[in-house]
Chains A and B, each alone.
Chain A
Amino acid sequence: MIIQTFGITKRYKNITAVNHIDLSIEEGKIFGLLGPNGAGKTTLLSMLATLIPPTEGTAKVNGYDIRKEPGKVRASIGMVFQTPSSDEILTGRENLYLHALLYGVPKEEREKRIEDVLELVDLADRANDLVKTYSGGMRRRLELARGLLHRPKILFLDEPTLGLDPQTRQHIWDYIKRLSKEQGVTIIITTHYMEEADSLCDRVAIIDYGEIKALDSPSMLKMKVGKSMIKARVESPNLDYIRGLPYVIKAEAKDGTVTIILSEAGAHIQEILCNLGNVSFVELREPTLNDVFLQITGKEMRVESAEGWAEVYARAGSR
């Protein structure tokens, strides 16, 4: 286990931001901390990075105690902060050069590593421009590059795609996956985007009010919740037959649209469509981490998004 926390806790005046968390994180994986704003993600990360001391409990990062050996912890990690932390008055390259110096990258390797990471995040052609002139996505990429420059064993990414457009976000995800695969870095990422946790992470901890509410792989989490949904437009649905199927939990019709809640829709969609009636339009929705979150905490993580739903549109031409 490359990271282990032992009842780690952070209390502010009238709020417990992180509440006795015990976590173990495996080496070489992408680990996600998923939770709404104010859940305590940044606070937990800041403690692991030795930026703020815990009120209670402790943690081991790369085998070093965060309270006793903060210097060694800091040498093992890279961190990309939630808010932009590049120096605007400097160029991208200068920022990286500074970072290389701060982290003691050996002199003869600096140039090469800077070129390598610039290449990795596609910033080579803008490296000599002031960061002031970069877009949000470019800054993010620069910070990712910076986090990697000293080849840390562990990389903390605090909301790496916050406020980026979907295309840039996808781009950053690709970089992160590549890093994990090619460099073998252990990556801890915090996010409040379901899709991000879902598509990136090997394991996800759902965090709310400073506590871990669930921890598993995204697919296992979804499996536990286990509910898929089929929506179909049907002229005269054969609801009674559908309700009789063993894996169907609920089926109802309203305004010509049938909604069926069932387990493992993928495996059973064929049988349902064949027996439902004259279907003109079908939508299949697999469970999302949002459902998981809803079930565990009793509230929606956020309402605005439809992205990431596994949607299958099919036109059933049955006459």
Chain B
Amino acid sequence: MGRGVCEGWFKMSDLWGIYALWYREAKVFLREKSRLVSSTVNPLIWLVAFGGGLGASISIGGAGYQAFIFPGVLMLVVLFTTIFFGLYVVWDKKIDFFKEVLVSPLKRTSIFVGKMLGGCTDGLIQSGIIILFGPLFGINYTAYSLGLVILFVLLLAMGTTSLGLAIGSQMTSFEGFGLVQSFVILPLFFLSGALYPIDNLPAWLSWITYANPLTYIVDGMRGALLGESSFPIVLDLGVAAAYVAVLVAIGTFAFKKMT
């Protein structure tokens, strides 16, 4: 009888391990329906109230303010879903299920990848629901725009989950959650042009905005959905890819150092 894991299985078994982690996250996510509902309703309220209210008195973009901020709200949903998914690894470290994972022959890198894919799935499902409501806010999809927006969502989710995992793997308690929200997520969001056009900003603000990778991601999504963008789509995609590459690298490193 083959005891233990023989060497020949190694690569394959790592893939299965990644699948296992993803499977677990997906199950947990789908079983917690109340979380799903509340995190769908909030952004819709944003769109209806904020977009509708402010949109009534200002005019930005050709398709109306609600359509203008739609990519931004989509980004907000992905940001929150995935950063908290990542941070929750703090909790994982406390419950013993994760010890089970850590004591398995799986490489830390694989554990990281499995977790990250779990976060991406959460982000995709959550944003998928918002995307479904798009036509109500003046968004008309084509196969091209839908494909492109999903690609941006995916990249954003990969990068942000990695960021959350990187931070979470180094934290020992939940205390840091609020700090991450106040000093990482909200500044990144508000300074990204998610809610206003970035073409006529004062110089200091425009520098910050240009340095923010999320600016390019929301610009890319807006370009895909509304055909209005400040940068070429190739630049947006390039920055999004770099965002992923850098954060995945940091996250992998952080996971290796995790105790």
Contacts and interface: CB of A to CB of B under 8 A. Distances in A.
A180 to B, nearest CB: 15
A86 B97 contact: yes
B145 interface: no
Given A74-B105, A104-B12, A151-B3, A81 B96 contact: yes
Contacts of A312: none
Interface residues of B, number: 34
Interface stretch (B14-22, B48-56, B183-191, B206-214): B14-22
Contacts of B2: 151
Please report whether the interface of chain A is mostly helix, strand, loop or mixed according to DSSP: loop
Contacts of A49: 103
A84 B102 CA distance: 15
A75 B99 contact: no
Interface string A156-200: 000000000000000000000000000000000000000000000
B103 A52 contact: no
A233 B102 CA distance: 58
Nearest to A153: B3
Interface in A26-70: 49-52, 62
Contacts of A146: 100
Interface of A: 49-52, 62, 71-72, 74-77, 79, 81, 83-87, 89-90, 94, 97-99, 101-104, 106-107, 146, 150-153
A98 B28 CA distance: 13
Contacts of A97: 23
Given A84-B96, A104-B13, 14 more contacts: A71-B105, A74-B103, A81-B99, A85-B99, A89-B31, A90-B24, A98-B23, A99-B100, A101-B17, A101-B23, A104-B14, A152-B3, A152-B4, A153-B4
Nearest to A102: B104
A102 B19 CA distance: 9
Contact of A101 (B9, B16, B97, B102): B16
Please report whether the interface of chain B is mostly helix, strand, loop or mixed according to DSSP: helix
Contacts, number: 88
Interface string B221-259: 000000000000000000000000000000000000001
A189 B100 CA distance: 17
Contacts of B101: 102
A89 B17 contact: no
Contacts of B28: 87, 89-90
B17 A102 contact: yes
Contact of B1 (A79, A83, A84, A151): A151
Contact of B19 (A71, A101, A150): A101
8 contacts: A81-B100, A85-B99, A98-B24, A99-B100, A101-B23, A104-B14, A106-B9, A152-B4
Interface of B: 1-5, 9-10, 12-14, 16-17, 19-21, 23-24, 27-28, 31-32, 95-97, 99-107, 259
Given A52-B259, A89-B27, A98-B23, A75 B17 contact: no
Contacts of A106: 9
Contacts of A89: 27-28, 31-32
